[in-house]
């Protein structure tokens, strides 16, 4: 049994997918995936429960870790421009089993992210319905929690169903809604920043570090969730006109833009409202209502309702491309790599993935989904950081036109250690579920993937 057999790179192979995405599409895809729940939901939780006004530092700590990881993604995507992202990259440098585990972690990350963002979207939408006098039956307002009397998040289920149907469209068309909503998102955030600047009370920033330094790091482990999605860009490699040039630029560009906006919004948010009052589901809109600007708060709520759609579109789009890539290599059932001849999209994988995401979105509470998303993402980033060191050993230094991660191997090792450290800040319950996830992933590989892999057939 050879679990270290490696995937070969065949850049000349013809793709069945449409190849029409440009740098602008990639940056908007990344921003659409990254900026959403982080700004509209997680900012308040980070300040109220973890770091206080120092939540700004939590975002900076998480950003440093993400940027370091982004460098490794950029070099991989430039030198190995194949679909599947970390699954494909690590299959080339470490072998099939490592690639599968990275892919499995990513499947869990994207699946949980789609579901958790849909739950966050549901909170904003239900808040809007309440403001106009419409109330859903309590049992249908959130995931299963018998003590609270909730069983299904109906709104989250409906939105996942809509996004699933939309993502079956041809890539350029499917991402067109995302691109439009990203610009709306920028407008909503700009409105909050411009108006909020006039209502900052410096006294709200004191004490600045109420939970101590450990609170900053605990907050960083939580808000790391806010940066997830930049790797979605790497999933689009097979549909990009110039992947070697544009994917690295898209990854780094989207991370830098997201970091800037997160820091500015958190500074203003904690300046407008005492951090103890920010433990709400819609902190950005709540801040405007807190200072008496009900109409502005309503506009922000409506903007959040529309723009959170971009996260679910970007994440589901990327998840489907990942499953398509793994299925095409035989590690998942072949019907998942079936391409719609008219739209040239993996339509079967889209429907299957969407139905699973719908189940999680409807049945599970958002806080559990967010932590599980974080730990699977961090595990994948540890593997990617170590993988770029191995990439240099087997393929040498990057050539002209290829992206070069700085300070290899020192920076990748620091990045891997930082990701591992943030994993230790998560709860024991999260670690237990993560361990179960690993067992399931290993079982799928040895019971199905290894035998059906196309590399096994070659052997």
- DSSP helix, strand, coil percent of the chain (3-state; round to 5): 75, 0, 25
Is there a contact between 47 and 53 (Cβ–Cβ < 8 Å)? yes
pLDDT of residue 176: 79
Q: What is the pTM for the complete model shown? A: 0.85
pLDDT of residue 239: 77
Q: What is the dihedral of CA 116, 172, 354, 128, to 10 degrees?
A: 40
pLDDT of residue 42: 80
- Closest Cα to residue 332, out of 15, 96, 11? 96
Q: What are 153's strand-pairing partners?
A: 141
Q: From CA 157, how far away is CA 446, in angstroms rounded?
A: 33
Is there a contact between 67 and 405 (Cβ–Cβ < 8 Å)? no
Which residues of the chain register pLDDT less than 70?
1, 10-18, 37, 170-171, 174, 365-368, 370, 458-459
Which tokens belong to 101?
A: 């585990």
Q: From CA 118, how far away is CA 284, in angstroms rounded?
A: 18
User: Angle between the 55-79 and 86-93 helix axes, to the nearest 10 degrees?
Assistant: 60
**pLDDT tens figures, 421-450:** 989 988 898 899 899 999 999 999 999 999
Q: From CA 217, how far away is CA 291, in angstroms rounded?
A: 30
Q: From CA 380, how far away is CA 104, in angstroms rounded?
A: 9
Is there a contact between 259 and 68 (Cβ–Cβ < 8 Å)? no
**pLDDT tens figures, 265-293:** 999 999 999 999 998 878 898 999 999 99
Q: From CA 216, how far away is CA 52, in angstroms rounded?
A: 8
């Amino acid at each position: 049994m050879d679990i270290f057999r490696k995937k070969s790179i065949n850049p000349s192979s013809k793709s069945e997918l449409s190849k029409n995405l440009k740098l602008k599409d990639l940056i908007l895809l990344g921003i659409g995936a990254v900026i959403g729940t982080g700004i509209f939901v997680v900012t308040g939780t980070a300040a109220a429960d973890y770091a206080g006004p120092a939540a700004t530092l939590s975002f900076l700590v998480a950003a440093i870790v993400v940027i370091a990881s982004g460098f490794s993604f950029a070099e991989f995507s430039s030198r190995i421009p194949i679909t599947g992202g970390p699954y494909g990259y690590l299959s080339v440098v470490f072998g099939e089993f490592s690639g599968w585990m990275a892919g499995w972690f990513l499947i869990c990350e994207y699946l949980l992210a789609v579901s958790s963002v849909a739950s966050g979207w549901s909170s904003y939408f239900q808040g809007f319905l309440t403001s106009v006098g419409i109330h859903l039956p309590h049992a249908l307002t959130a995931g299963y929690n018998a003590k609270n009397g909730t069983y299904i998040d109906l709104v989250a289920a409906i939105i996942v169903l809509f996004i699933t149907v939309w993502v079956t469209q041809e890539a350029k068309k499917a991402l067109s809604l995302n691109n439009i909503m990203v610009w709306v998102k920028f407008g909503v955030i700009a409105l909050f920043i411009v108006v909020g600047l006039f209502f900052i009370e410096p006294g709200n920033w004191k004490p600045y570090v109420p939970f101590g330094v450990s609170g900053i790091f605990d907050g960083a482990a939580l808000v790391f969730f806010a940066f997830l999605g930049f790797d979605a860009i790497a999933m689009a490699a097979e549909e990009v006109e110039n992947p070697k040039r544009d994917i690295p630029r898209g990854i780094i560009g989207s991370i830098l833009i997201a970091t800037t906006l997160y820091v500015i919004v958190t500074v203003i948010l904690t300046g407008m409202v005492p951090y103890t009052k920010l433990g709400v589901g819609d902190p950005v809109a709540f801040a405007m209502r807190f200072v008496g600007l009900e109409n502005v708060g309503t506009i922000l709520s409506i903007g959040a309702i529309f723009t959170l759609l971009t996260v679910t579109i970007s994440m589901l789009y990327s998840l489907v491309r990942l499953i398509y890539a793994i299925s095409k290599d035989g590690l998942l059932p072949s019907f998942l790599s079936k391409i719609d001849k008219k739209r040239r999209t993996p339509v079967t994988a889209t429907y299957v993935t969407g139905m699973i995401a719908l189940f999680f979105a409807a049945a599970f509470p958002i806080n559990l989904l967010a932590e599980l998303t974080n730990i699977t993402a961090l595990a994948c980033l540890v593997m990617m950081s170590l993988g770029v060191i191995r990439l240099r050993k087997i393929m040498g230094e990057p050539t002209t036109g290829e992206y070069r991660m700085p300070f290899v191997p020192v920076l990748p090792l620091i990045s891997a250690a930082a990701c591992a450290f943030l994993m230790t800040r998560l709860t024991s319950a999260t670690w237990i579920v993560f361990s179960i996830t690993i067992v399931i992933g290993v079982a799928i590989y040895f019971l199905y993937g290894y035998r059906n892999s196309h590399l096994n057939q070659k052997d």
